[in-house]
Structure 1
Amino acid sequence: MVEDVAEAVAERITGENPEAENTGSPREVCWRGSGVGFAPLDVDDAELIHTWRADPVASHEIGMWPRSLSAVRDRIERDRDDHDRDDFLVLLPNGTPIGHIALFDQDLVDGTAEIMLVLDSDHRGRGHGADAVDALVDLAFGELPMHRVQAVTHTTNTAALDVLARAGFVQEGVRRSACLHRGRRYDVAVLALLREEWQALTRPRSWDVPVAGQ
């Protein structure tokens, strides 16, 4: 589905900034937002994903068990064949990969999906998470027939809750004691953004963001 979205809705742009250092191989950007671009996740990105997932802060906040590199590679392989999800590498304008974002559990009949984001520890707290979430919900509502996009996180994950609130997500409730992590129970917040709430946002949409060189 990533490839279908890329061909249907986006021009192939490089997102390059000649004044900034590009720390990785050039990637085709299939979607962009304010300050970030998305490239389809590839098996060759497994080492990056493995490193981000193994970060102790991320693993604690997300509540995920770190996997081996081979397991991460196998998971990416399986997810590429899952037509109910889209996985992207989040890139800075100079091509630097800073995170992994996904729209998964897509139900095109009911118009629902869930969002997931992991950022490189060196690039947190700079607004990139909010830019990535904004870009993904623009994709969900602007190019896919979604009506409701959900996000789930620990109630103690204040950074994620702030990013989601800035993107317009509304906390709908709390699943009490729903997660076991590091020997203790955590409450889990359930947030969502509805299509009419997204339409009411006054920020520019992804397709309104100027492209460098155009």
Structure 2
Amino acid sequence: MIEDIRAAGDEHDGKAERTPVWRAGSVSLAALDMDDAELLHDWRSDPVAAHHMGIWPRALSALRERVELDIDNDNRDDFLVLTADRTPVGHIALTGQNLADGTAEVELLLAPGHRGQGHATAALDALVDLAFGELPMYRLTAETHTDNTPALAVLARSGFTREGTSRAACLHRGRRHDVAVFALLRPEWERLTRPRAWDAGTVTP
């Protein structure tokens, strides 16, 4: 996450018509498409994103192939995060879905020009509501560097509990980084008093 659970990126000028499939509060989610690869490539090339995600930029062609594989993967669901005017400001995904055990992982990438505006929390809440409200998930997990203060705050605001630290789990820029491990269980989500995505109102096109 980067603001985020792997969150970051550059702003994107394009506002191609996208159809939200899940609406909640200040943001909506639209299914990721092959045409979004260039947008994701720009976001992932941001140095802040690369640092917090522990990655280096990949070729656009390679990312296109990755996006195509992810779209066809039944064990994950990928979405663009859209603002009220349908500007894409991030990417969020529910990955590693195991319907038998009811487990999945959350990933979030937010464009730098839109950090600090509450979009990360809104997007995470929306995805959590989708996982528990429409899918038979029982446990969601998320990981981020222990020094990624904005991401730690977003996870806490969305009700995730820090379960521990994977020490020296990530090698980046010549040094080892600790990774914070978070989780949210269905009973904990049920106890949250915030409005659910389906009660929070829709995003005005």
TM-score (norm 2): 0.91
* Percent of aligned pairs with the same amino acid: 61
Provide structure 1 residue ranges, at least 5 long, that are not aligned to the other structure.
Answer: 1-21
**1:94 alignment partner AA:** D
- 2:81 matches 1:82: no
Is residue 23–residue 95 contact of structure 1 (8 Å, CA) maintained in 2? no
Cα distance in 2 for residues equivalent to 1:167 and 1:159: 13
**2:108 alignment partner AA:** L
Cα distance in 2 for residues equivalent to 1:138 and 1:69: 32
Q: How does 1:129-148 map to 2 (within 5 A)?
A: 129-148=120-139
Partner of 2:99: 108
Secondary structure at 2:198 match in 1: helix
Partner of 1:92: 83
Is residue 165–residue 181 contact of structure 2 (8 Å, CA) maintained in 1? yes
Cα distance in 2 for residues equivalent to 1:107 and 1:122: 34
Pairing partner for 1:119 from 92, 110, 117: 110
Aligned residues: 192
**1:42 alignment partner AA:** D
Larger radius of gyration: 1
State the 1:65 CA deviation: 2.2
How far does the alpha carbon of each residue in 1:74-115 deviate from its partner, in whole angstroms, 9 at most, with x for none? 100011111000000000010100000000000000000000
Cα distance in 1 for residues equivalent to 2:202 and 2:150: 29
Is residue 144–residue 151 contact of structure 2 (8 Å, CA) maintained in 1? yes
Secondary structure at 2:97 match in 1: strand
Provide structure 2 residue ranges, at least 5 long, that are not aligned to the other structure.
Answer: 1-12
Partner of 1:15: none
Secondary structure at 1:71 match in 2: helix
How far does the alpha carbon of each residue in 1:149-181 deviate from its partner, in whole angstroms, 9 at most, with x for none? 000111011110000000000000001111100
**1:134 alignment partner AA:** D
Partner of 1:40: 31
Pairing partner for 1:54 from 41, 45, 49: 45
Partner of 2:199: 208
State the 1:23 CA deviation: 5.0
Partner of 2:188: 197
Partner of 2:4: none
Q: CA 1:86/1:212 → structure 2, altered by over 3 Å: closer, same or farther?
A: closer
Is residue 130–residue 166 contact of structure 1 (8 Å, CA) maintained in 2? yes
Cα distance in 2 for residues equivalent to 1:183 and 1:212: 43
Cα distance in 1 for residues equivalent to 2:14 and 2:25: 20
What is the CA RMSD across the aligned residues, in angstroms? 1.2
Partner of 1:155: 146
State the 1:211 CA deviation: 2.6
Cα distance in 1 for residues equivalent to 2:201 and 2:110: 24
State the 1:212 CA deviation: 5.5
Cα distance in 1 for residues equivalent to 2:46 and 2:136: 34
**1:186 alignment partner AA:** H
After the TM superposition, which segments of 4 or more aligned residues of structure 1 sit over 4 Å from their partners? none
Q: CA 1:156/1:120 → structure 2, altered by over 3 Å: closer, same or farther?
A: same
